[in-house]
């Protein structure tokens, strides 16, 4: 599928990244691109949806892709601090785009990750898309401010007596905060991580 290779390269994606995003083996994706193997209809539809094109375009039956969905630009922040509204932070290091559909679900910002406490799931310098909220369900990966310091990104686990912030990297220990500490420090959830973006350069 020549079009698949063209789309992947146009979006600056490695075969590994695209395969992971589509939840297929990298070798399978390579065979799709070289024509050694043909994807089934369900996979074709998944690829078309991922790139916002039609199946006909993927199969070289159309000259032009369907129009891409409109996107909304959101700021990528290098840090988030207590007491400063997201919209007032001046340390904007880049911009990312999200779909209008995602934007309708709430206010979003992006955060560049520092450190490796969430590896291998989220690595240093990855960018995460965050939906602003003051609370989220247990098990979510959240952006949390503790004691007025810079934001930390951890999986949260709620308990009746408090909240645990859980790193993905086993080299780091989980931190538990009682309900009293949550109120006194304070510990504040400022958003839920809804998407991750990684650069392979």
Residues labelled catalytic: 117, 154
Q: Contact, 123 vs 199, CB < 8 A?
A: no
Q: What are phi and psi of 68, to 5 degrees?
A: -70, 150
d(CA 172, CA 146): 17
The first and second tokens of residue 14, run together, are 């490695």
The Cα 48–Cα 184 span in angstroms is 50
Under DSSP, the state recorded for 68 is: P
CA–CA separation, 113 and 150 (whole Å):
11
Q: Which residues of 151-164 are buried (b: 16+ CB within 10 A; e: fewer)?
A: bbbbbbeeeeeebe
Name which of 19, 67, 80 is nearest 46 in CA terms: 19
């Amino acid at each position: 599928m020549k079009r698949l290779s063209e789309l992947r390269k146009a979006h600056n994606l490695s075969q590994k990244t695209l395969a992971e995003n589509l939840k297929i083996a990298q070798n399978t994706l390579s065979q799709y691109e070289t024509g050694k193997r043909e994807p089934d209809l369900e996979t074709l539809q998944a690829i078309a949806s991922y790139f916002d094109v039609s199946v006909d375009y993927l199969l070289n039956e159309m000259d032009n892709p369907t129009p891409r969905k409109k996107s909304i630009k959101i700021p990528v922040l290098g840090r988030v601090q207590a007491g400063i509204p997201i919209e007032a932070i001046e340390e904007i290091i880049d911009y990312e785009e999200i779909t209008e559909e995602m934007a309708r679900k709430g206010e979003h910002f992006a955060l560049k990750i520092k450190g490796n406490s969430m590896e291998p799931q989220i690595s240093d310098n990855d960018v995460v898309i965050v939906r602003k909220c003051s609370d989220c369900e247990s098990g979510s990966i959240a952006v949390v401010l503790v004691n007025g310091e810079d934001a930390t990104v951890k999986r949260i686990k709620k308990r009746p007596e408090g909240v645990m912030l859980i790193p993905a990297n086993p080299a780091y220990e989980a931190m538990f905060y009682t309900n009293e500490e949550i109120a006194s420090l304070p510990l504040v959830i400022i958003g839920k991580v809804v998407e991750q973006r990684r650069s392979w350069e």
